[in-house]
Amino acid sequence: MSTETKKGVISGSLPVILGQYTDYNFKFTEVEIPNARFVNGRKYPVAIKLTYTKNNEASDDDSRLYEELAQFVYDLSKDYDTFKTLVRKFGALAIKGFNSTDPENFSLFVRNFAKGSNLSEFKQNGIAHPREDVAKGGVTTVNKTTGFRRLYAHQELCRFKTYPSILTFFAKYPSKTGGDETLTNASELYNVVKQKYPEFIDAMAKKGIYLTQTWPLGQKLPNGKVYSWKSEHSFGRLIKEGDDLETQKRKAGEICKKYVSEDYEWTKDGGMKINEHTKPIRLDPYNKEPIIFGSIPSYYQKYKWNLENIGPNIPPAVTYDNGEQIPLKYLNFILEQSIELSFDYKFEAGDIVLVDNYTSYHGRTKYGDQRREILACFLDDDEQEKKVPIPFVSS
Ligand SMILES: [Fe+2]
């Protein structure tokens, strides 16, 4: 083991981010992403790659590598705000060269990024499908309901009272084909909708929108899991074993009112129907660019699919907040453009992707029944520092 003392961060921002530590020297440099988009004069997304060298006396123990890397990540975050600055500037940041698919190493990385950046684990409530905890610090599985359908563009929990500001994803085992992370820039989406249908932007800004979603009492999923409002990450965080149904409902209601929506009801078959009222036309609080914040593409797509596959008597999943129907040509355009403008990020094993949950929609392409293990950890700002996208009406 070297007796040299660590020097720490040598350079904290691009073009070359450098650190010298006891056993390893680290470097992040920007790498080109083929076909990256260009939005409002900036690349979308941006990627950096980690390389490292081992000092002569360093042991072969890999765990030292990830401990020292975690220290570097913490120092960079605390003293230079390196990663948070990059993800907020570009909307999405891919980190390549991590060279590990071990969730514990990802957890160490993400906890140190969070701690140094004054972010903390966002406790998930109101999640649609069950998640499993995988590693410390809120590292969980992602929505694995089915790989046979695309997961359409959405911003995580954006229609709710509380939502995370930064999402992190980790490619433990990407599928061989498909299963790409789709990234759609919410400001680019705003720009194209505003250009084609300015009256739709105006109507959404003035009237707001209403979306609704019902969590079943208990529905078996093809993957063997149960889809229910009782799930821990849905509304079940306070439910204890032995609670009767009325108590379970009361506790789910408490979570709903605090974190999700004041407006909910119970359906005849024991489902929990959440009524969500939101203003989707907003300004990103950091760069003040207009965005569409509202997960309309994924909601509308579900409705469209139901219409085509179940029948015509389905109430629309999204309307203006005063109950007026939104013309389908607008919804079709927004859905179409969320796909058209998407950058499909092809995961390599060990990739880490940071997503600004305000500026960037995420989703994923189909991958069928292949093995695919992507992990996620959602982060939020310190309560005193938290800024949220601001509703506005353009003049
Ligand atoms: Fe998501």
321-372 pLDDT, tens digit per residue, is 999 999 999 999 999 999 999 999 999 999 999 999 999 999 999 999 999 9
pLDDT of residue 21: 94
Using a CB cutoff of 5 Å, list residues around ligand 1, an ion: 156
Q: Average the pLDDT over each of 155-159, 302-306, 351-355, 387-391 and give the range with the smallest value.
A: 302-306
Cβ distance 125 to 259 under 8 Å?
yes
Instruction: Quote the tokens at residue 181.
Output: 């992370």
Among candidate residues 83, 80, 142, 141, the one with its CA nearest the CA of residue 109: 83
Among candidate residues 176, 149, 83, the one with its CA nearest the CA of residue 379: 83
Instruction: Quote the tokens at residue 27.
Output: 């470097």
pLDDT digits (tens, 9 = 90+) for 175-193: 999 999 999 999 999 999 9
Gap from CA of 46 to ligand 1 centroid (Å): 20
Gap from CA of 231 to ligand 1 centroid (Å): 17
Gap from CA of 1 to ligand 1 centroid (Å): 43
Cite the DSSP H helix spans in the chain: 62-80, 82-90, 103-116, 186-196, 198-207, 245-255, 296-309, 328-340
Gap from CA of 362 to ligand 1 centroid (Å): 6
- Whole-number Å distance between alpha carbons of 297 and 30: 31
Residue 353 CB neighbour total at 10 angstroms: 24
Q: Average the pLDDT over each of 59-73, 108-122, 271-285 and give the range with the smallest value.
A: 59-73
- What is the DSSP-derived secondary structure letter of residue 366? -
pLDDT top residue among 61 and 210: 210
Gap from CA of 91 to ligand 1 centroid (Å): 15
Rounded to 5°, the CA angle 157-376-19 comes to 120
The arithmetic mean of pLDDT across residues 63-80, rounded, is 95
Each as own residue / partner, the long-range contacts of residues 301-310 (CB below 8 Å, 24 or more positions apart, any chain) are 301/152, 301/335, 302/152, 304/335
Gap from CA of 153 to ligand 1 centroid (Å): 8
Gap from CA of 115 to ligand 1 centroid (Å): 23
Which helix H or strand E contains 38, and what residues bound it? strand 37-39
Gap from CA of 201 to ligand 1 centroid (Å): 24
Q: Average the pLDDT over each of 56-65, 80-89, 203-212, 259-268 and give the range with the smallest value.
A: 56-65
The CATH homologous superfamily for domain 189-337 is Clavaminate synthase-like (3.60.130.10)
Gap from CA of 202 to ligand 1 centroid (Å): 27
Say yes or no: do domains 8-184+344-384 and 189-337 share a fold: yes
pLDDT of residue 59: 67
**Residue 95 confidence (pLDDT) above 80:** yes
pLDDT of residue 221: 80
| Fold for the domain defined by 8-184+344-384 | Double-stranded beta-helix (3.60.130)
Gap from CA of 80 to ligand 1 centroid (Å): 28
For residue 343, what are the contacts with CB-CB under 8 A and spacing of at least 6? 33, 35, 36, 37, 44, 45, 182, 183, 184
1 confidence band (pLDDT: 50, 70, 90):
very low
The arithmetic mean of pLDDT across residues 130-148, rounded, is 83
Starting at the edge strand found earlier in the chain, the sheet holding 281-283 runs 290-292, 281-283, 390-391
pLDDT of residue 395: 65
**Residue 60 confidence (pLDDT) above 70:** no
Gap from CA of 61 to ligand 1 centroid (Å): 36
pTM attached to this predicted model: 0.92
- Whole-number Å distance between alpha carbons of 189 and 40: 11
Q: Average the pLDDT over each of 107-111, 125-129, 253-257, 265-269 and give the range with the smallest value.
A: 125-129
In one-letter notation, the amino acid at residue 74 is Y
- Whole-number Å distance between alpha carbons of 269 and 279: 30
Residue 78 CB neighbour total at 10 angstroms: 16
132 confidence band (pLDDT: 50, 70, 90):
confident
Residue 172 CB neighbour total at 10 angstroms: 20
Residue 64 CB neighbour total at 10 angstroms: 17
Handedness of CA 318, 160, 184, 89 (dihedral sign): positive
Gap from CA of 167 to ligand 1 centroid (Å): 9
List beta partners, residue 276: 211
Cα–chain center distance at 28: 23
Rg (CA), the chain: 22
**Residue 58 confidence (pLDDT) above 70:** no
- Whole-number Å distance between alpha carbons of 19 and 71: 10
Gap from CA of 232 to ligand 1 centroid (Å): 17
Question: What are the residue boundaries of the structural domains of the chain, listed by start?
Answer: 8-184+344-384, 189-337
Among candidate residues 188, 113, 145, the one with its CA nearest the CA of residue 352: 113
Gap from CA of 296 to ligand 1 centroid (Å): 13
Gap from CA of 128 to ligand 1 centroid (Å): 9
- Whole-number Å distance between alpha carbons of 376 and 142: 6
Burial 207-245 (b: 16+ CB within 10 A, else e): bbbbbbbebbbeeeeeeebebbbbbbbbbbbebeeeeee
**Residue 6 confidence (pLDDT) above 70:** no
Give phi and psi for 93, each to the nearest 5.
Answer: -130, 120
List beta partners, residue 11: 18
